[in-house]
Amino acid sequence: MPTGPGEETFGVIRRAVGTRSRRWLLAITLLLGLSAAAALAAALPPAERTLAGLSQAVQLLMSVTVPFFGVLLAHDLRRASRTTRIAPTLLGAVLLAAAVGAFGFLVCAAALAVVPSTAPAAWDHAGAIAVGGVLVQALAQLTGTGLGLLLRSPVIACLATIVLPLGLWYALGNVEALRPAQDWLTPFAGAQNLLSGQMSAVMWAQWLVVLTLWGRALNAAGVARLLRPERTAHV
């Protein structure tokens, strides 16, 4: 019996956490965010505790493991039948990442509420920071699905989600003439801007370029590779 797009998408989310190892990965990801928020809130002086500062640390830490779900879901596509549609997998992966981003914002807000701050701008730009956390995790997940589709080995693809973005950021930062390109080409620099809660028009343009490169282009290349060898999957 055919299923609708919504049912397919939620099936992807269930599959993303459908095994014991994947549930452990989710638990580790959420625990990283929770423990980082609690530890940082307790360690920082009251005058330095802000929602933006907590969110940067928590969301960036969780974004290390979030792409692993994308890699695993992409690996599922490799083993799926030829009639499996790719779009619901990408949408389900993004929705799972968005939920992680929302969780990260909530634990940061809870930590800041429990451990009081004397910083004058402690809660500034809360809405923008919440949206930023969701966008950061969504791009991290799309990086995972793209590399998972491009690379046959899930282990190598998971490592690549860490090494390639950070390696490019580090390489550009070590050449003074290329340092401005960090904001246009690397997810890490874009994530820092988003999680500050203060995005200018130029920063949004930079984020869109990064999203196009690491989200859209990477997945388009991965889908083309997946469909190339006599596959007839429907996007």
Dig out the tokens for 83 from the structure.
């009639």
Domain extents in the chain: 5-227
Question: What pLDDT, on the 0 to 100 scale, is given for residue 67?
Answer: 98
Show Cβ contacts of residue 169 under 8 Å, excluding neighbours closer than 6 positions: 182, 186, 188, 189
Show Cβ contacts of residue 186 under 8 Å, excluding neighbours closer than 6 positions: 165, 168, 169, 172, 210
Per-residue pLDDT reduced to its tens digit, 6-50: 788 888 999 999 999 999 999 999 999 999 999 999 999 999 999
Distance, in Å, from the CA atom of 171 to the CA atom of 185, rounded to the nearest integer, reads 11
Q: Would the pLDDT of 85 be above 50?
A: yes
Per-residue pLDDT reduced to its tens digit, 149-159: 999 999 999 99
pTM of the predicted protein model? 0.92
